[in-house]
Structure 1
């Protein structure tokens, strides 16, 4: 199976001298094309730092990251920016939107850089994505006129605008109630079923249980993994129990 990401003995350090510590301590990880992966661990274990390293958002101090055959460690800042914009999508716990733009314009703005002359085409794609995630009627709303779940759906649409090969999510349901969180996870499951790789950082066992492989981190290392079958909408309680038991076993 094709590897969309290969991280080889990644080291990421913060601080200087006696205060220096490795937040990522020689982490090696592979993510397959079309895979749905979660990363769990206590605060400070290196989860988000790993995501930023694998996406080329943060430089590493050692090791190598290869994305879709491209060595990110050897890429220039402009090359990294192009890769993130055209091949990756990002969804965060609190979507960052511009207050002076409506929902539709916030979705299409990042795509305008490469397609300034095709506003109608870009807007059409955005509207199709909005319909897909259930916010078609909100395109003219200000970002202060929608709920947290609707704003997160807006962020998902924006992340999908350039048809990325992978979606990275950092606690993408962390600010949502349980109903909205489930709806957002349904959307991500559909995205993954269409062939897009998805990697989440999460503290939530219910979110992790929707994925097919969970990497558990502690002290800058991946200490173990748990594999689950593709989620088919059944036995959610059993999946959550497996994740919870594993968390208790390894103390994360």
Structure 2
């Protein structure tokens, strides 16, 4: 399996002097192409900080992060921005959509900034994605006129518009009810089956149980890992039992 993201001995702290707080304490992690990974841990364990470090959204104090063989510390801010915009997609707990734009315009905005000459192609692709995730009829709606689950689907479309190699999700189902969360995970799972690498930060054992690899964090380190086969929809009880047992074991 080809390696996509490699983090080596990552150290990250916030604050200075007596207020300095070590968040990542020598973390190493390797993500392969096509992986479906979740990161779990108690609040303050460093799981979101690790995601931001691996994506280049946040700098690190020491160690190394490489993406497809490129050392992120060697890239300029513009090069990092280009890499994130063209090779990575991001899904957050609360989609950062603009209130003055409708759903379709929010989805196409990042791509239109770079490629206005292909506006028709971008719009066509956005509509294909919207149809795929079940919000085709909402393209003219304002973001205040749709549900949280529908907003998250729009966020997924925006994350996919540039054909990213990897999707990062920070609690992507955290603000949704259980039915909407399950529907969003169905979409994310399908994205992974089509070949896109997926890395999710979550506190929800049911979400983690649908992934194929779980990294458990504690006190700024990866303290344990668990692997599963692809989720079939028939083995959730067994997977959940194993995840919750591990969570109890490491004190999550």
Q: Which residue does the alignment assign to 2:116?
A: 116
Cα shift at 1:106? 0.3
* SS of residue paired to 2:116: coil
CA distance in 2, matches of 1:71, 1:249: 36
Match of 2:85 in 1: 85
Question: How does 1:103-252 map onto structure 2 within 5 Å?
Answer: 103-252=103-252
Q: Show the counterpart of 2:63.
A: 63
Q: How many residues align?
A: 252
Q: Distance in 2 between matches of 1:180 and 1:137?
A: 18
Q: What is the Cα deviation at residue 18 of structure 1?
A: 2.6
Separation in structure 1 between the aligned mates of residue 213 and residue 41 of structure 2, nearest angstrom: 14
Match of 1:4 in 2: 4
- Taking the aligned partners of 1:247 and 1:6, their CA distance within structure 2 comes to 25
| Correspondence for 1:46 | 46
4+ aligned runs moved over 6 Å, structure 1:
none
Deviation, 1:21, is 2.4
In 2, Cα distance between equivalents of 1:114 and 1:16: 38
Q: Secondary structure at the match of 1:27?
A: strand
Uncovered stretches (5+) of structure 1, i.e. residues with no partner? none
**TM-score (norm: length of structure 1):** 0.99
- The separation in 2 between residues aligned to 1:201 and 1:94, in whole angstroms, is 14
User: In the alignment, which residue of structure 1 is the partner of 2:30?
Assistant: 30
Alpha-carbon displacement from aligned partner over 1:108-139 (angstroms, at most 9, x marks no partner): 00001221111110000000000000000000
| Structure 2 unaligned regions, length at least 5 | none
C-alpha separation in 2, matches of 1:234 and 1:226: 19
SS at match of 1:118: helix
Q: Deviation digits for residues 6-33 of structure 1, max 9, x if unmatched?
A: 0000000112123222100000000010
1:238: Cα distance to partner? 1.2
Please state how far the C-alpha of 1:244 moved relative to its aligned partner. Answer: 0.5
- 1:102 equivalent in alignment to 2:102: yes
Deviations 1:171-196 (A, max 9, x none): 00000000000000000000000000
Q: Secondary structure at the match of 2:24?
A: strand
* Deviation per residue, 1:136-176 (Å, 9 max, x gap): 00001110110000000000000000000000000000000
Q: How far has the Cα of 1:91 moved from its partner?
A: 0.2
Q: 2:80 & 2:251 partners in 1: Cα distance? A: 36
The 2-side partners of 1:128 and 1:15 are apart by 45
Paired with 2:106 and 2:17, the residues of 1 have a C-alpha distance of: 43
Superposition CA RMSD, Å: 0.7
Separation in 1 of the partners of 2:15 and 2:125? 44
